[in-house]
Amino acid sequence: MTRKDSSSPSIQVLARAFGLLDVLASHQDPVSLKELSETTGLHPSTAHRILNDLAAGRFVDRPEAGSYRLGMRLLELGNLVKARLDVRDAALGPMRDLHKLTHQPVNLSVRQGDEIVYIERTYSERSGMQVVRAVGGRAPLHLTSVGKLFLAYDDPQRVRAYATRTGLAGHTRNSLTDLPALERELAGVRRHAIARDNEELELGVRCMAAGIFDDQGKLVAGLSISAPADRLEESWLDRVKSTAAQISSALGHRG
């Protein structure tokens, strides 16, 4: 006896309906009943009957006789799902996995004005690093890896306005306190899609960060690893990026 794939619908008509919706989703223009039938392998009368039911529920529209496209009900439901997605909820599991690999603090931060705010952190005493900024803590954008991500996605005029407002005040001898140096740093962030803090916020602490994006491609948060300056490993870079991409995917990003 063949075991049914647990990810497949157990009700045949649902599997057929999902198949039709998938075909419609792959086309920008309305699709004919003939093409839907041929692509899904369904008899035209079966496809027509299911499509009629989907149309009754507004999951499918009929712009003209014999052709179909996705309906507004799917948009309404999608917007509900989007509204209920929480970046912290999506990030927590992947953050814990990354922490298990590195044994260093893993941070989730968002932008609020001219600062980043730490909204989640996973860490343990094994890291050997005192956690100075706990959840709810804030730090200037230009002194942090995640903050540089947000500045890198700003247009040049907004970056200059930020520099004027803040004066690019430094915290350590490594802080970037002049605009040309910061602009060069941000150009590198855009090229490599990764940002770093080289003991610019705290002496003895280095960070690397990657961006988290929503379904519209908007940068909504940053994921970073903090470690003692002599323990931050370059081999973690790809894992930081892949973990951030995993979280982005959970938020609907298709990058």
User: Do the beta carbons of residue 91 and residue 247 sit within 8 Å?
Assistant: yes
φ, ψ of residue 121 to 5 degrees: the values are -155, 140
Tell me the pLDDT tens digit for each residue of 120-152: 998 775 555 554 556 788 999 999 999 999 999
Locate 194 and state its tokens: 């990764």
Tell me the pLDDT tens digit for each residue of 218-254: 999 999 999 999 999 999 999 999 999 999 999 989 8
The residues, ordered by sequence, that sit 6+ positions from 185 with a Cβ below 8 Å of its Cβ are: 148, 176
pTM: 0.70
Tell me the pLDDT tens digit for each residue of 82-112: 656 689 999 999 999 999 999 999 999 999 8
